[in-house]
Structure 1
Amino acid sequence: MDVIVLIGRVLFAVLFLGSGFAHLTQREAMVGYAQSKRIPLAKIAVPVTGLQIIIGGLMVLLGVWADLGALLLAAFLLSTAVLMHGFWADTDPQARQGEMTQFMKDTALAGAALMLFAFFASHDDLGLTITGPLFSLD
């Protein structure tokens, strides 16, 4: 079972590591997109959220306080869903559909991250991790 959980952590974390590095290496494009969505302080928010998801992804991947890493990812995903993918404000049906898809993807991934948090925070013996959980839900 430990190997299956590790494979799941790897598959989950790869998305966030890639996206986080894109926040940093394609910063101007990401800032422009965030500004088009009227994100305040986009020039600061883009690299900060990039670091947030890199750190969260690495924590889940490596099993270093993976419960905290899962919370960092959930917070990013929920805020991104609401702030970046407000499909309810789009009047163009095609744009609305695209934003709704992204909103649903982000909320589903946030749900998965919250389940990971609960999993990590309620098990002391997770196997194949570097540390145990930071939080305890017992």
Structure 2
Amino acid sequence: MNSILGIGKYLYAVPFAIFGFFHMTNAATFNEMIGPPGGVAMIYITGICLLAASVSMLIGKFDKLAAVLLALMLILFALIIHLPNAMNGDAGQLLKDIALAGGALMYASGFARDNSVIG
């Protein structure tokens, strides 16, 4: 059973690497969809952050810090980008980011191996 539960780390971290890759390769498209705030530069920064969080969780180095920062980023996305759409009746992306942030916080509290930065 533990071997099945161990797959969860990969099922959570790998999609963030893919999202980060998509941000890096399709920044102009993301900018058209989202627009401000930040523009294309912020989309690249977001892609780098997603890739870094994914790698950190996969290798277990600074993974607790990465998971907490990922949760913070996802909550900011939910409030800044998706809340206006939710006010117009489309709450799907808002709820997705809140759920992913909750998963990142659960990872940080229960599964992270590196407690060197955040005890």
Q: Normalising by structure 1, what TM-score?
A: 0.75
- 1:111 corresponds to which letter in structure 2? G
Q: Distance in 1 between matches of 2:86 and 2:23?
A: 25
Deviation string, structure 1 residues 33-84 (Cα, Å, up to 9, x no partner)? 221xx31x21211000110011001111111121012112212211111122
Answer yes or no: is 1:77 the counterpart of 2:74. Answer: yes
Contact 1:34 1:84 in 2 (8 A): yes
Poorly superposed stretches of 4+, deviation over 3 Å: 1-6
Give the fraction of aligned pairs with identical amino acids, expressed as a percent.
Answer: 31
Distance 1:4 1:16, change over 3 A: same
Structure 1: 5+ residue runs without aligned partners? 91-95, 127-131
User: In the TM superposition, what are the counterparts of 1:5-84 in structure 2 within 5 Å?
Assistant: 5-35=5-35, 38-39=36-37, 41-84=38-81
In structure 2, runs of 5+ residues without a counterpart are: none
Q: More helix per residue: 1 or 2?
A: 2
Paired letter, 1:80? F
Give the TM-score taking structure 2 as reference length. Answer: 0.86
Q: How well do the aligned residues superpose, as a CA RMSD in angstroms?
A: 1.9
User: Higher Cα Rg: structure 1 or 2?
Assistant: 1
Indicate if the aligned counterparts of 1:57 and 1:73 stay in contact, CA closer than 8 A: no
Name the CA distance, whole Å, in 2 between partners of 1:76 and 1:113.
10
Aligned length: 117
